[in-house]
């Protein structure tokens, strides 16, 4: 398995609901290493830039307002097959379809406010990591 890095975010609902420790604990128990981490509050424009790939989707305005509604935690996770391992921990986008025991199945209450984000491919992981972290901020 390739060693990969992926960008994870604990979304504003996860932070507001006090789930930072719970989510990070799941990453660590799964063997993912934290290579960088920060809390920040995205502006609306920054959220629109991050989710630009979805700009034609009907939920884009609502999603970016939600993502800029409060602080988030961004992390770089590293490990064997880290992109898929993280997505497996997260569960499906729609919490009603997420496998039991996944973060979204256990905690999400809406399709939009679904606790976590994770990169979906090597290329998007590189772009998303560079969005949040410069070289000095990665260990
Ligand atoms: P993310 O990119 O946040 O990790 P994902 O890759 O599982 O999630 P995407 O299809 O990339 O899902 O959608 C990005 C985000 O947009 C979702 O996590 C969710 O917050 C929101 N979203 C997706 N589909 C819908 C929808 N039908 N209605 C409302 N919000 C949605
Ligand atoms: Mg996505």
pLDDT (tens digit, 9 = 90+) per residue, 54-79?
999 999 999 999 999 999 999 999 99
Evaluate: CB of 111 within 6 angstroms of ligand 1.
Answer: yes
**Does the domain made of 3-134 have the CATH classification 3.40.50.970?**
no
CA of 31 from ligand 1 middle (Å) equals: 25
Q: Where are the domains of the chain?
A: 3-134
Tell me which residues of the chain have a pLDDT lower than 50. none
Question: Alpha carbon of 88 to those of 84, 105, 114: distances in Å?
Answer: 6, 11, 14
Rg, the chain, Cα only: 14
Q: What is the pLDDT of residue 120?
A: 98
Q: What is the pLDDT of residue 1?
A: 83
CA of 119 from ligand 2 middle (Å) equals: 6
Q: What is the pLDDT of residue 67?
A: 98
Q: What is the pLDDT of residue 103?
A: 98
Q: Any residues with CB less than 8 A from the CB of 42 and at least 6 apart, and which?
A: 50, 67, 68, 72
* Stated pTM of the model: 0.97
54 flagged as catalytic: no
Asked if 26 and 89 touch (Cβ cutoff 8 Å), the reply is yes
Evaluate: CB of 131 within 6 angstroms of ligand 1.
Answer: no
Q: Which position among 19, 117, 129, 132 bears the catalytic label?
A: 117
Evaluate: CB of 120 within 6 angstroms of ligand 1.
Answer: yes
């Amino acid at each position: 398995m390739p060693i990969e890095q992926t960008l994870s975010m604990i979304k504003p609902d996860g932070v507001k609901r006090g789930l930072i420790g719970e989510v990070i604990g799941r990453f660590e128990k799964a063997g993912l290493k934290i290579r960088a981490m920060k809390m920040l509050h995205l502006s609306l424009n920054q959220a629109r830039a991050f989710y630009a790939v979805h700009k034609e989707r009907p939920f884009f305005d609502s999603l970016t307002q939600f993502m800029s509604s409060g602080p988030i935690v961004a992390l770089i996770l590293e490990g064997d097959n880290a992109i898929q391992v993280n997505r497996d921990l997260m569960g499906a986008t729609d919490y009603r379809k997420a496998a039991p025991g996944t973060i979204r199945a256990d905690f999400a209450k809406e399709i939009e406010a679904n606790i976590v984000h994770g990169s979906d491919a090597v290329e998007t992981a590189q772009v998303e990591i560079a969005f949040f972290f410069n070289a000095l901020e990665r260990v």
